[in-house]
Amino acid sequence: MELAVVIAGRATIKRNLGPGTGMDAEWLALIEAMRLAHQHDLTDPVLLGDAAAVIAQANGSVRCPPAYLHHMQAFRALPRPAGRVRIRYVKRTQNLAGIALARLHER
């Protein structure tokens, strides 16, 4: 698995994260985004992702499958950035982190 997170135009890419599903990778990306938002002292961050199921689970609008509960628990246990954290779905074509990963694979 691998993940990418873009904050302020800078991509953070982590590769070789071990085996897992696409849903695992999406959860790991959301966890990394929250960590980085806190680390960068962002206020009122908006975390964007193109995995509608993970976004809905993180927002609590749908039940998280048992296989991914450990990711949700890790996400909820993270320190939060200041202000209101919003988690939003975007189309894959609008996801800068996804685009960064895709470009790596084109090379």
What sign for the dihedral angle of Cα 51, 54, 57, 58?
negative
Tell me how far CA of residue 95 lies from CA of 45, 79, 80, 100, 102, in angstroms. Answer: 16, 24, 22, 9, 11
What pLDDT digit, counting tens, does each position of 64-84 carry?
Answer: 999 999 999 999 999 999 999
| 30-66 confidence digits (pLDDT tens) | 999 999 999 999 999 999 998 999 999 999 999 999 9
For residue 85, the tally of other CB atoms under 10 A from its CB is 19
**Complete domains list, the chain, with CATH:** 3-106 (3.30.420.10)
Count of CB atoms within 10 A of residue 13's CB?
Answer: 14
